[in-house]
Amino acid sequence: MKEQIEEVTKRLEIEINRTPTGKLRELLCDANILLQALNSGNDSTSKQIDD
């Protein structure tokens, strides 16, 4: 799962560089938040994502 999110994040960064739009930036931010939650294993971060 972590590797898949990292791959999606890389692909999103490439797309943002091609066509910088707000929607793509929002999606990249969401992907980074999920990746940080997976890396930290912090229950409070996981809870925020679930909300």
In sequence order, the 6+-apart residues with CB closer than 8 A to the CB of 1 are 38
pLDDT at 42: 56
Number of Cα atoms under 13 Å in the Cβ half of residue 6? 5
Phi, psi torsion values for 48, nearest 5 degrees: -60, -40
- pLDDT tens, per residue, the chain with 51 residues: 788 888 888 887 887 777 666 777 788 788 888 888 888 875 554 455 554
The mean pLDDT of the chain is: 75
Q: DSSP code of 8?
A: H
